[in-house]
Homo-oligomer: A and B are copies of this chain.
Amino acid sequence: MNGTAMVGTERAGARLETDRRRLPPEERQQQIVDTAVRFFAEVGLDGKTRELAKRLGVTQSLIFKYFETKQDLIEAVYARVYLERISPDWPALIGDRSRPIGERMSIFYRDYGSRIFDHDWMRIFMFSGLAGAELNKRYLNHLSKTLLEPILEEVRMAAPNTAEPTLEDLWSLHGGIVYLGIRQHIYQMPVPGDPQHEIDRAIARFLRSFDIEGP
């Protein structure tokens, strides 16, 4: 199970797969982080460096050539995993009043779901949250400020002035959607085959309760 690219020199295939492979440092470092993401997502941040090394097919000591401490490796895993979860396009999408709010929310949560309904992300986010990492709070605060609050404003614009939605209402909708991923990847329960359909239903119910047409 060698996942990485073979190096240019192909010498008549006499090389054993268990050979000691010499990778460019940058490539090796990336490989370690890749594997560490999957590894820590499975077993938790208390996963042992020896087992990680076994998955990598290298010795445990090699890991410490690329990361001074285990904590440094974990930080690299955080950095890797927290990228790719937030798109800079979302604020523009949310504020695009040429489209109905239901459509905007549907597209947003379709994209959002495709990024966070991910085994590794879900579990590492939960592990780090339980460990008290500051990253989770920063992430959620950022989410609230740059996405939920703008959505709230747009929903208010679209709603007849009867009863106004609150930010907590949006957190509730958000929680209901995220809970789909929690059921699947944390509790490992079966979930509906088409999450987007459930998400659209949740959005439609939300908007309908404020007399707004859904997606």
Contacts and interface: CB of A to CB of B under 8 A. Distances in A.
Contacts of A123: 130
A126 B188 CA distance: 12
Contacts of A179: 171-172, 174-176, 178-179
Interface in A164-213: 166, 168-169, 171-180, 182-183, 186-189, 192, 198, 201-202, 204-206, 208-210
Interface stretch (A78-86, A99-107, A132-140): A132-140
Given A126-B186, A175-B175, A201 B169 contact: yes
Given A140-B183, A174-B179, A176-B173, A188 B132 contact: yes
Copy number in the complex reads: 2
Interface string A114-131: 000000000100110111
A205 B201 contact: no
Contact of A187 (B44, B140, B172, B204): B140
A126 B137 contact: no
Contacts of A169: 201-202, 205
A215 to B, nearest CB: 13
A202 to B, nearest CB: 5
A29 B130 CA distance: 27
Contacts of A166: 201
A180 B169 CA distance: 11
Contact of A188 (B44, B137, B186, B202): B137
16 contacts: A44-B44, A126-B130, A126-B186, A127-B130, A129-B187, A172-B180, A172-B198, A172-B201, A172-B202, A172-B205, A174-B176, A175-B177, A178-B179, A204-B209, A205-B205, A209-B209
Given A171-B180, A204-B209, A205-B205, 4 more contacts: A129-B186, A130-B186, A137-B189, A175-B180
What are the 3 closest A-B residue pairs judged by CB atoms, nearest first?
A175-B179, A176-B176, A205-B209
